[in-house]
Amino acid sequence: MNARVHFYHNTPDRLALAGELVGRALERGRKAAVRLPDAATLKRFDQLLWTHDALSFLPHVAVDSPLAGDTPIVLAAAGADEHWPHADMLFNLADDIPPGFEGFRLLVEIVGQNEAERVPARVRWAAYKQRGCEIKAFDAELRVAL
């Protein structure tokens, strides 16, 4: 079975949308691996998860934590050791194709509004299409399927 890929285009704030979607996934009992472009962005996303909602907690750790296998949300920077402890959902905010994405039930690509983010997203879309992945697209700002 080919991987399913959901692209969220036209995203005003990629980290905020990732936090929202990861939170919804957790509410439904799903597990999420979040792949961020670099360590600085990972740190910002970690802070966002801690401050996401004053009345809720989104349990998360780094992929290399001893608790990664027991934690529903796992974070890693692209290029780091990305041996994910589970294979439910992978959120990709990096510009390249995540290694091993085919092993996940669902890959979620979050694309911003500027051309610097759109160009690599188009390359990833074409690569996923060429590999026979089932792709769905959504406009993140308008909140509609495309």
Give the residue among 127, 124, 135, 50 at the shortest CA–CA distance from 92.
124
d(C-alpha 8, C-alpha 139), whole Å: 6
Arithmetic mean of pLDDT, 61-79 = 96
With the CA atoms of 13, 15, 17 and 23 taken in that order, what torsion angle do they form, in degrees rounded to the nearest 10?
-160
**Which pLDDT score is estimated for 55?**
64
Domain segments of the chain: what residues?
4-145
Residue in this structure with the two tokens 């991987």, named with its chain if needed: 3
| Fold of the domain built from segment(s) 4-145 | Rossmann fold (3.40.50)
Query: Per-residue pLDDT tens for 78-133?
Result: 987 778 999 999 999 999 999 999 999 999 999 999 999 999 999 999 999 999 99
